[in-house]
Structure 1
């Protein structure tokens, strides 16, 4: 892939995120975590521990962003449970990084994929209703 093609791809990703609604942004974060953790496993296979660490570190940061996006007041038990799950994932990934453990990464991948499936199963009318409420209050 040429430098120009790579730059166009990066610009597309940035512009896509900039134009995304809150629902889509969370979906982008889940997809990014999955991609980074999959890459981390490949880096372990290649004994490229520097890049493995970068991918895991970026995934840990994305889990932090997911935690920051939770509405703890309105979300109740769901937000509390997700917060704890994201915290577990971060801690588990630190251990996976130290141990170069693809198995531990796989455990977190399964968690993320399950959450993402649930997120994607939110009916479109519910998503739109939420987005309409957010725009009505200027959020």
Structure 2
């Protein structure tokens, strides 16, 4: 049974890695926002039964996602948009730190709202993006570059 689980988990991980390596940069950003919102939802849901270890772990996962988004900003090409995103990401990181220290559900809800609005904006941008033929994994640049 254990071997079957490992094989299933291994196949799933391979599938997810392939999915991530073949999506557009904008779709990848939308997926990151989805993950951040999902993790904060788990954190918020676990505040009432006071499972603070779960709250802490999920807030940290969200902070890690925001750090990735922050580090991927291309400040030279993105100009004003990148600067605005930088400010928002720094604000979110600060608020998440406060939410984690205080275990404050209202701050988490505020962050979910901001992340939802950002996700919606990226989804709108994704709809406007021309559908280019998918790149092979070998020719794809590493990391994500948010240029605005």
Q: Residue 27 of structure 2 corresponds to which residue in structure 1?
A: 24
Residue 106 of structure 1 deviates from its aligned partner by 0.4
Alignment of 1:1-139 (within 5 A): 4=5, 7=9, 10-122=13-125, 124=127, 126-128=128-130, 139=141
Provide structure 1 residue ranges, at least 5 long, that are not aligned to the other structure. Answer: none
**How many residue pairs are counted as aligned between the two chains?**
133
Structure with more contact order per residue of length (Cα contacts < 8 Å, sep ≥ 6):
2
1:26 & 1:101 partners in 2: Cα distance? 27
TM-score, normalized by length of structure 2?
0.78
CA deviation string 1:8-44 (max 9, x = no partner): 6555433322322211110110000000000000111
CA distance in 2, matches of 1:32, 1:107: 16
Structure 2: which 5+ residue stretches go unaligned? 142-148
Root mean square deviation of aligned Cα: 2.7
